[in-house]
Structure 1
Amino acid sequence: MRSMGKYDDIINLPHHVSSVHPQMSIWDRSAQFSPFAALTGHEAAIEETARLTEQWHEPDEDKREELDEKLRQIMLTYKKIDTGKNIEVYSDINNCGIGLNILYFKPDKLKEGGSYEHVTGKLRKMDDINHKLEITDDAGKRIVIDTAMIYNIESTD
């Protein structure tokens, strides 16, 4: 003889269908079990925290002098090309012909630190008062660089 299990009395009863409430669709039924996003933006915040940045390493005095001399030489070449024009802050020279290869530090907009970026292109504008260079890279993108953040600069000509 078989002993009575806990649910033996209801196991063979027909499935109940409510006469008052309509049957839930499969879509609505499955939605009950979807994950709940109580912490909207939490995953993005974790990804941002995990994103690595580098610290700016100030060039030593010898390197700084070398960079200053290179920038002076570029400025002299820039002004020679601009002969006959009024040199103003960011006077525009399209395709002035000075090819540059620059390694510079780009500060991160969201957190401390940043990244070292490399760009090769043509000098577009030079602002010796505000210490900015504008480069047009090989893809045609304009990049403004703070000369204080340049780690290395070479002429490609």
Structure 2
Amino acid sequence: MDSYHKNESDYADIMDRKHHQSATRPHMSMAERAAQFSPFAALTGYEALIQEAGRETEKRIEPDENLKAELDEKFKYISARIASAPEVSLTYFQKDDRKDGGAYRTIRGRVKKIDFLKKTVVMTDGTKISAEEIIGLEL
């Protein structure tokens, strides 16, 4: 038999011995022992950082004067009928909290209030949208 293949008789002298327990160090659980061999993540959070850097955002479109005038007329129309909470579809730019840019969102709902002083549109569900970020409004 070669030196790599041992049989049980080679260990007969130690088979019945008690497992050694250190008198100075506490016993380690199996989970603690296994943790010694788990992979080490030296760059904790690096993967999330890479994913965030790769996430794409859109640039905000600056509406031209024609679009601003069209939206202004629609806001006036809605404001005159605000008591009936008119249903609209709004497309607006939502700024990204973590990166430059953002995303365009479209929501459908009923308008509760148009605050011309604060330049916001308040929906019946409580959503507040800056009128300056709206680029599309369908009645």
TM-score by length of 2: 0.75
From 98, 119, 123, give the equivalent of 2:107. Answer: 119
Write out per-residue CA displacement over residues 121-146 of structure 1, whole angstroms, 9 at most, x where no aligned residue.
1111220011100113xxxx421111
1:55-103 superposed Cα distances (whole Å, 9 cap, x missing partner): 111122222221121112222223xx3xxxxxxxxxxxxxx42111111
Does 28-37 or 39-48 show the bigger shift?
39-48
Residue type at the aligned position of 1:51: R
Partner of 1:75: 79
Q: Output the CA distance in 2 between the equivalents of 1:62 and 1:135.
A: 25
Gaps of 5+ in 2: 4-9
Give distance in 2, aligned partners of 1:68 and 1:27: 66
SS in 2 for 1:28: helix
Aligned residues: 129
Return the alpha-carbon distance in structure 2 between the equivalents of residues 147 and 102 of structure 1: 10
- Structure 2: distance between partners of 1:43 and 1:19: 41
Quote the residue 2:138 is aligned against: 154
Aligned AA (1:109): D
Distance 1:133 1:26, change over 3 A: same
Residue aligning to 2:56: 52
Q: How does 1:1-157 map to 2 (within 5 A)?
A: 18=20, 20=22, 24-78=28-82, 81=83, 96-136=84-124, 141-155=125-139
Identical aligned residues as a percent:
36
Larger fraction in helix: 2
C-alpha RMSD over aligned residues: 2.8
Aligned to 1:88: none
Q: 1:54 to 1:19 in 2, by over 3 A?
A: closer
